[in-house]
Each structure stands twice: as structure tokens, then as C-alpha cells.
Amino acid sequence: MPFLGQDWRSPGQSWVKTEEEVSFCQEEEEEEEEECFSKENLLLSLGYDMAAKKRKKDLMNNNTKVPYFHREKWIYVHKGSTKERHGYCTLGEAFNRLDFCSAIKDTRRFNYVVRLLELIAKSQLPALSGVAQKNYMNILERVVQKVLDDQQDVRPIKELLQMLYISLCGLVQDMGKSVLVGNINIWVHRMENIMQWQQQLDSIQINRPKSTGMTLTDLPASLQLNIMQRLWDGRDLVSLGQVCPELGALTEDRLLWKRLCQYHFTDRQIRKRLMVSDKGHLEWKKMYFKLSRCYPHREQYSDTLHLCTHCHILFWRDTNHPCTANNPESCTMSLSPQDFINLFNF
């Protein structure tokens, strides 16, 4: 028995069953209506497809400012294939999955993320995927913009940009050897952006806050020294001493520099770099900068990434992860930026 439907031989026409026989009928009005309806549906579907493709292209385009992110703010770190999981987790995948864009807005995590960006720029940039490399540059741009807006942490970001530019100069020369993902013109454009960011940071003008209340110099000298002991970088002490002669005299306190040396370096390292003045006193300030050139500083962060040793999940402290341990707190360990990099050295 013939069916009622569109004729496969000529679109727009249909088989129609009559009383006498099954014949092929074409009605002009119905045909025009169906044709208009099909055209409208076709245009709508094409519009939806073009919009979806445009959103996907904008997301993956190198000029986009929207970072690539996932819904979960944790990642399962596995180094081998099992029956349940195939493959392994890479540094680029972890960098994309963890929420670094929100982390740079948090004062407790800002220095942690900056140190991590510095380690990646130093030696791990070729280990990132193309999406992760683009995400890295987008996060770096947000870091620079935050520093320009807040007028804080200018020196570490300038050092980060300088290190990244030097690393890219060497990597761009090796283009074609699977070092960097993408066209060389893209990376030349990114290097130009880095130079522009450096110029913006060099020309930044720190505005003196308008305060009518008590200032640091109004406090007793003992309280001022107590506040200075909270600074863990000797270069910050030197910058503070350049504000006024009173603060400059306090920053020369020998006990202040001695505590800095003992905080960052071991006794064995200090004994190897002893410096004695003409009066027989140890030159703790000179020793600090000499030790800084020879040994790395001790790192301290308010908040870090954590690794659950029970379920092997990497996460931020305030984000929940699906842990099945009876006591999740006992299975959690804090990771320094270098520990994070070492997780993927396999």
C-alpha cells in the first residue's frame, strides 16, 4: 500500500491517495507554503549552527579574553592506565581544570599563583598543551591588570614578565621542533604584549593614600620594628627604609636582618657565608643578600593547592571534592608550587 509522504524524487511534492487510484498530485498552494516553511526552518537551523560555531571559535580563538575552564574545580591525578582510567593526567590538563582565574583575585593565593606561573615560564611552558598555553597567557594578562589596578606587587610581576620574555626568546628560535604550539606570528604577538605590559608597569605611578589618621611613623619604634619583622623579603625592607630617614634608621637594625637570615637559610648555609665588620660584628644585612644569591628563599603561602592521598585528587582548600575516606583531613597534604610541578614529572 502506498504511503503518504514526501516524494523522494522531487522535493515539495507528495503522494496523495484518491478514490480511484493512487496518483501523484502537486498542489501549488500547499507546495508554496511547505517551501516557505522549509526555507524558514533551514535559515533558523543555519543561524543556530553559525551562532554555535562562532561561540566555539571565539572560545578557542587566541584573541579571546575568556579563559578555558571546567565546571569542577578539582582534578584526579593519575600517572598510569588502569581498568577504570586510561592515559594519565598532564600539567596542561591540571592547569586548565583548576580555577586559577579566581585564585588571583584572592589575596591569600595571589603569591602562590604568581610563583607557579614563574616556574612554568622558567622550564615547563613547552609541556603545556595549546589550550593551556593560551590559558596561561590569559591568566597572566589578568594578573598584570590586577597589579595595575591595585598598585601592589609590582616588582614580582616585573620579574615574572622578564623571565617569561627571556624564555620565549629561546623557545621561538626552536619553532618547528614541537616546542611551542601554534604559529610563530602568534607568539611574536604575545611577546609584544609582554613588552607592552612591562612598559605599563615601569610607568606606573603609586598614588599616596589620603589618610588623616595615624601613620606608621606615628607609632612607637618598638611597634614599627614589630611590623617590619612581618616582612619576609629584604628588598621590601630596603624600599621601606627609603620612605623617610626615621624608617631608614630602623631598617638597619641588625636583629631585624639576623631574623631574616635565620628564617630563610639554614645554620650550615649561614656559616659558609659569614661576614664580619671591622668592629667584630656580623654583617647580617650583607650576609642576607649574599645568601640570597646563593640559595633559594624559604617559601610561605597563606593558601595552597592540596592533594588528597586517599583519592589522588588535587584541589583548592575551600572546594569540595568527592573523597571517600573516613577522615578526609588526615589524607590531605599541602603542595608548594614546586611540588605541584613535580607531580607531573614522569
pLDDT (tens digit per residue) in 229-269: 888 888 888 888 888 888 888 889 889 999 999 999 998 98
Q: What is the pLDDT of residues 164-208, one digit of tens each?
A: 999 888 887 765 555 677 778 888 899 999 999 999 998 888 777
Residue 94 identity: A
Poorest-confidence range of 34-43, 125-134, 248-257?
34-43
CA angle 156, 161, 164 (to 5 degrees): 125
pLDDT surpasses 80 at 315? yes
- State residue 107's pLDDT score: 87
In this model, does residue 7 exceed pLDDT 80? no
Distance CA 343, CA 79 (A): 9
pLDDT of residue 342: 86
Going by C-alpha positions, the residue among 302, 334, 333, 306 that lies closest to residue 319 is: 306
- Would you say residue 156 has pLDDT above 50? yes
Q: Which run of H or E residues covers position 23? A: strand 22-25
Residue with the larger pLDDT of the pair 46 and 160: 160
Q: Give the pLDDT of residue 123.
A: 83
| pLDDT at residue 66, rounded to an integer | 47
Q: What is the mean pLDDT of residues 140-168?
A: 90
Map residue 243 onto helix, strand or coil. coil
Q: Residues 302-321: what's their mean pLDDT?
A: 84
- Between CA 24 and CA 174 the distance in angstroms is 69
- Relative to beta strand 305-308, strand 332-335 is antiparallel
> Rounded to an integer, what distance in angstroms lies between the CA atom of residue 339 and that of residue 341?
5
Calpha distance 85→313 (Å, rounded): 14
Chain segment 39-70, per-residue pLDDT in tens: 555 445 555 455 555 545 554 454 445 444 45
Quick one: pLDDT at residue 102? 83
Question: Which range, 28-32, 259-263, 271-275, is most confident?
Answer: 259-263
Please tell me the predicted confidence (pLDDT) of residue 346: 58
Q: How far apart are CA 254 and CA 257, in angstroms?
A: 5
For the whole model, what pTM was predicted? 0.70
